[in-house]
Amino acid sequence: MVRPGEASHSFIPIRPTAYIWRARLMGAKARSLLTVPDFSGTVFAVLSTTVYLLSSGREMLWVALEGLPAHRRCLLASFQPGPLKAGQSFFIQNNCLRIGQDVAIALDQAREWEPSAVGPGQAEPLPMVNTCLQELFAALPVPGKDAGLGQAIPMILAIASGRDMTTFLPDSLVARAFGSLGEMARASISQDMAQVARKGRELVGLGPGLTPSGDDFLGGLLFAAHFLKTAYPESFCWEQEAVTDLVEWAQTQTNPLSHAILSDLALGHGPEPLHDVVNSLLTGQDLECVREAVTRLLGIGHTSGWDMLAGMLTGMLLITGFFPRT
């Protein structure tokens, strides 16, 4: 940490024990929330690199260290979350986000982050995207026991190839979700989003942590489905009511942070690396480009990156229904 009197572009000293840190990047949702008059609330949770904030209107946003993935609800800044605790108040004052008594983050120089999106007519033909998807399946690292529902990726690939795979330990998280995951993969191949939504209810809240693995998996699947429907509206035209009902129902089944992230994913808003993976697949980028985005995705959370990847790959099976399985 730079002490008073030392030069820094990350924060401005205001007293020996407190600093104003500068936000460098801000998601569009975070910016819209932080400009609401009298926006305030409490600290929801504090991790070593991220502080999650819950507003009095039940909106979620977070402040994370520079270098972590961007998100529409996120501010990225070089700051020290150490003194903060859950339950402390936050509010906006003089274009600064003030959290507790010792942390203030200036908002005036933050650039707005908006992810790129692939719209109608901008994606490659589905046969090319399917080829890229198969290449990615073949190039993925083997998920270990600490990969959450990412351990289901071999099973997802097996189902996509017309095979069965039933070799999970009975006490593993994947074993608990085994039937639901398999049915969701098969429903994706059949483009039966109503069945996906029905089975998705069995995953909501499944697993430990601030964002349970079941929520992250389901969010990744709905994220992929959203972008396929957006990029290929003539090929993917299911009704959205089942998905909307699922997300609304999930609000009472999981915590506010996980529900906010799940809701965003269903609408096509996710962490930057997940956008990059899907965009790379839809635009036919070379495999190395896709793998780089996957590596960054897998760095999110304890298992969240793996969980979202497994869900996204399951959602991408919506493509494979157009092609014969080998």
Residue 6 is predicted with a pLDDT of: 34
Give residue-wise pLDDT tens across range 287-298: 999 999 999 999
Positive or negative CA dihedral for 242, 243, 244, 246? positive
Q: Is the pLDDT of residue 4 over 90?
A: no
Q: Which residues have a Cβ under 8 Å from the Cβ of 125 and sit 6 or more positions away?
A: none
Residue 211 is predicted with a pLDDT of: 96
Give residue-wise pLDDT tens across range 172-204: 888 899 999 999 999 999 999 999 999 999 999
Residue 100: CB atoms within 10 A of its CB come to 17
Give residue-wise pLDDT tens across range 188-246: 999 999 999 999 999 999 999 999 999 999 999 999 999 999 999 999 999 999 999 99
Q: Is the pLDDT of residue 5 over 50?
A: no
- What angle separates helix 304-320 from helix 287-298, to the nearest 10 degrees? 140
pTM of the model: 0.92
What average pLDDT is seen over the chain? 90
- What angle separates helix 256-266 from helix 213-231, to the nearest 10 degrees? 20
Of residues 145 and 54, more confidently modeled:
54
Of residues 209 and 247, more confidently modeled:
247
Residue 145 is predicted with a pLDDT of: 86
- Would you call 95 helix, strand, or coil by DSSP? coil
Q: Is the pLDDT of residue 311 over 70?
A: yes
Give residue-wise pLDDT tens across range 123-160: 999 999 999 999 999 999 989 888 999 999 999 999 98
